[in-house]
Structure 1
Amino acid sequence: MDPPLEARIETARGPAAVTLYRPETTAPGARNCLLVLTHGSAGGVDAPDLVATRDMARERGATVAMVTQAYRVAGRRSPGGNTGPQDESWTTVVRQIRAWPGLGESPLVLAGRSNGARVACRSAVELGAHAVVALAFPLHPPGKPHRSRDAELRAAGVPRLVVNGASDPFGIPEPDEETTVIVRRGERHDLARAPREVATGVVDWLAERGLVAHVES
């Protein structure tokens, strides 16, 4: 198996870091998606739910890119209140990944946790994503439901999966025709209690859309 490919991608906000993992197997009958995963504010791509999702998606035939965004490489805890610079940097990174050999034809799935879920939703239409996975989507700041970010989620324009903890202080979005919501009992915002179960929900949802392989019974 090929070792992970590590790269730096220059953006208008400084370099971002990418680690690309090739699939552990090819998936007959599936389209073998490119899954681009990113972190939340103050976090990293080593979050348990992200790592578990990476590993299980590769087992099902996906190529996975783990992206440390430019603001985190620069040592900042958050991307700032203006979403424009973060979105610009993020789209630069994803487009560069798509330009790498063998990845341009793979269906694109954007995924992130918390703030990373927000940027994935905001950029999905522009980047031509087939689907979005939003882990711990922060519907509103804790204790401030009037500051809803629901419009960001609905604007993704493609099928989306939301996985939130039942006790998440950032709130839980409602499902709709294009939004599947999995609520994890006993979990809070970090989704760290049973990350493999979180990942199973993600890859099963992707498999239903032909983006990774189904588990053979």
Structure 2
Amino acid sequence: MATLIDTPTGPGRLHIYESDGSERGTVILGHGAGGSQQTPDALLLAEVLPRDGWRTVLVDMPWRVAGRKVATSPPTLDRGWQPLVEAAKGEGRLVLGGRSAGARVACRTAGPLRADAVLCLSFPLHPPGKPERSRAEELATPCEIGLPVLVIQGRRDPFGTPEEVRAAAPDAVDVVPVSAAHSAPKNLDEMLIPVRAFLADLG
């Protein structure tokens, strides 16, 4: 089910996949700076997680709904994301996450939105070839309030290898390497198995 929600930066779209049985919580995933939620990993999670009791919501950010090709600035992204999360969350635990820019937004807003955990399907630690422009502070933000964080990171990711992310992140961040660059791994079980284990540990 797709639903348009008004935000201060324009309407965003929620694709809602209800849980099959007793609802453990809601997983809300944002997309990257150049794409939409039609990625193999996000679509697989939307198919599988509801069977585990997780209501799953894939978000199309307002800039994407408006037909723009490039994401807006981080403060604007956050202003659009927060009302979408408030509209999408249900009962039980709240897990915020996403791919690339969506992961950054989730990390920055996990505290104000009272999330219970953060799931990064890839985290852009730095622009390609520019490790000095680190975004490690954003990745550390959920840890500062005691939230568990899982990062699924491609071994060939030009935005930061798993080793780079581990070195820059707090010890509380769990980094799982997968056979990919900055996109979803071809073997989606590399992503799915640790994500399901991470959610199961939330209780």
Amino acid at match of 2:154: G
Query: How far apart are 1:160 and its partner, in Å?
Result: 0.4
Structure 2 partner of 1:198: 191
Q: Counterpart in 1 of 2:15?
A: 19
Q: Is the 8 A contact 2:140 2:170 kept in 1?
A: no
Rounded Cα–Cα distance in structure 1 between residues aligned with 2:5 and 2:171: 36
Gaps of 5+ in 2: none
CA-atom RMSD in angstroms? 1.4
Deviations, residues 89-137 of structure 1 (Å, cap 9, x unaligned): 1001111223xxxx1x321000100010000000000000000001110
Q: Which has the higher contact order (CA 8 A, sep 6+)?
A: 1
TM-score between the two structures when normalised by the length of structure 1? 0.85
Distance in 2 between the 1:183 and 1:193 partners? Answer: 13
**What amino acid sits opposite 1:35 in the alignment?**
V
Whether the 8 Å CA contact 1:53–1:196 is kept in 2: the answer is no
Equivalent residue runs for 1:155-174 within 5 Å:
155-156=141-142, 157=145, 158-172=147-161, 173-174=165-166
Structure 1 segment 1-217 matched on structure 2, within 5 A = 5-26=1-22, 32-80=24-72, 82-98=73-89, 103=90, 105-156=91-142, 157=145, 158-172=147-161, 173-174=165-166, 176-184=170-178, 186-210=179-203
Alpha-carbon distance between aligned partners in 2 of 1:66 and 1:170, rounded to the nearest angstrom: 23
The answer to which structure has the higher helix fraction is 2
What are the Cα deviations for residues 51-92 of structure 1, in whole angstroms up to 9, with x where unaligned? 112222112110011110001111122323x31111011001
The two structures have a TM-score, normalised by structure 2, of 0.91
Q: Partner amino acid for 1:53?
A: L
> Equivalents in 1 of 2:170, 2:196: separation in Å?
20
Alpha-carbon distance between aligned partners in 1 of 2:34 and 2:192, rounded to the nearest angstrom = 22
Which ranges in structure 1 are unaligned for 5 or more consecutive residues?
211-217
* Structure 1 residue 36 displacement after superposition: 0.5
Matched residues in 2 for 1:55 and 1:196: separation? Answer: 13
Residue deviations 1:23-64 (CA, integer Å, cap 9, x gap): 1233xxxx7111101211111111011111222211211001
